[in-house]
């Protein structure tokens, strides 16, 4: 696919999707959503880690309200169903670990796009903003699902109703994201995190994602069954054999992945 609204780069088993509409703070359009979905699917097939970040001063400012291809504000339900849902599923269901490297403001659907990843790393100057009620809408792009699960109902409700900016440091303290790092260290940190995952046990990562995401719908007994099934898959992998052998030999493991 010839990408027009983002760049896609694959290096050392890390696929990096960079939203590339910096003049519009990487606001989401119909075309961009389709390209993100395609790139995330592609990364899941050929990489061991997927990273989503933004070009310029913002991560993503949310829906481009001037994008006529989206059908306008009156067609929000169709846009969410036919454009946002496939993009979000491509990220959430990606078989490899996903990282949102939030380089700047993440607002509206852009904030919830970031939160769809397995791990969110943000620069300290970034912020998250559920801006929807400012224009008479509710959080979408998965926000009503991810927010209460990441920081609890009370904080999620306040974020939705007040539409206040949440600094990256606040988001870190509240458990909304994995970590906020100093601006000067941000690029090195997320790249180091991505490299760490790229060298790790891919089968175990996939099963951990499956088990943790599935836990919300399970009873304790159901979750114990799911854990057992997932661990059974891991136990039959070459990565497990290598991990045990490396432990016995007191050396670092070299995981082959899938």
Q: Which of 125, 128, 126 is nearest to 116 (CA)?
A: 128
The domain spans of the chain are 6-198, 202-248
Q: Do residues 61 and 107 lie in contact, with contact meaning Cβ atoms separated by under 8 Å?
A: yes
Q: Where are the alpha helices (DSSP H) in the chain?
A: 30-46, 76-79, 85-92, 109-115, 143-151, 153-162, 168-174, 183-198, 202-214, 220-235, 238-248
DSSP state, residue 78: H
Of all helices (H) and strands (E), which one includes residue 128?
strand 127-129
Q: Angle at Cα 36 formed by Cα 30 and Cα 39, nearest 5°?
A: 140
Write down the pLDDT at residue 92: 96
- Using DSSP's 3-state secondary structure scheme, residue 82 falls into helix
- What span, in angstroms and rounded, lies between the C-alpha atoms of 113 and 6? 15
Q: What are phi and psi of 107, to 5 degrees?
A: -125, 150
| Distance, C-alpha 106 to centroid of its chain | 12
Write down the pLDDT at residue 67: 76
Write down the pLDDT at residue 76: 87
Q: pLDDT tens for residues 188-208?
A: 999 999 999 999 999 999 999
For 6-198, CATH number? 3.90.226.10
Write down the pLDDT at residue 51: 98
Write down the pLDDT at residue 22: 96
Give every CB contact of residue 23 below 8 A, 6+ residues apart in sequence. Answer: 56
Q: pLDDT tens for residues 58-91?
A: 999 999 988 766 655 558 899 999 999 999 999 9
CA end-to-end distance (rounded Å), the chain: 25
> Mind listing the pLDDT tens digit of every residue in the chain (258 residues)?
899 999 999 999 999 999 999 999 999 999 999 999 999 999 999 999 999 999 999 999 999 988 766 655 558 899 999 999 999 999 999 999 999 999 999 999 999 999 999 999 999 999 999 999 999 999 999 999 999 999 999 999 999 999 999 999 999 999 999 999 999 999 999 999 999 999 999 999 999 999 999 999 999 999 999 999 999 999 999 999 989 999 999 999 999 865
C-beta neighbour count of 138 within 10 angstroms: 11
Q: pLDDT tens for residues 141-155?
A: 999 999 999 999 999
**Ramachandran class of 249: left when φ > 0, alpha when ψ lies in -120 to 50, beta otherwise:** alpha
- What span, in angstroms and rounded, lies between the C-alpha atoms of 54 and 20? 7
Write down the pLDDT at residue 256: 81
């Amino acid at each position: 696919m010839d990408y027009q609204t983002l760049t896609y780069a694959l290096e050392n088993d890390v696929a990096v999707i960079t939203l590339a509409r910096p003049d519009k703070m990487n606001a989401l359009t119909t075309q961009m959503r389709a390209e993100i979905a395609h790139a995330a699917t592609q990364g899941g097939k050929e990489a061991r880690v997927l990273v989503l970040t933004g070009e310029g001063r913002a991560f993503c400012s949310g829906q481009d309200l001037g994008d006529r291809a989206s059908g306008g504000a009156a067609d929000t339900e169709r846009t969410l169903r036919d454009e946002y849902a496939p993009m979000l599923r491509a990220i959430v269901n990606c078989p490899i670990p996903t990282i949102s490297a939030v380089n700047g403001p993440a607002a509206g659907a852009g904030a919830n796009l970031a939160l769809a990843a397995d791990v969110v790393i943000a620069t300290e100057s970034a912020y998250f903003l559920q801006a929807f009620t400012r224009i008479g809408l509710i959080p979408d792009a998965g926000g009503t699902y991810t927010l209460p699960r990441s920081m609890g109902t009370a904080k999620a409700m306040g974020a939705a109703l007040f539409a206040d900016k949440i600094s990256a440091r606040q988001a870190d303290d509240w458990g909304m994201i994995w970590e906020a790092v100093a601006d000067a260290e941000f690029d090195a940190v997320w790249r180091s995190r991505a490299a760490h995952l790229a060298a790790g046990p891919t089968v175990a990562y996939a099963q951990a994602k499956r088990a943790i995401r599935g836990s919300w719908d399970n009873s304790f007994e159901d979750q114990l069954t799911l854990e057992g099934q997932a661990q059974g898959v891991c136990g039959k992998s070459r990565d497990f054999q290598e991990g045990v052998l490396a432990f016995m030999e007191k050396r670092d493991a070299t995981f082959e992945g899938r």
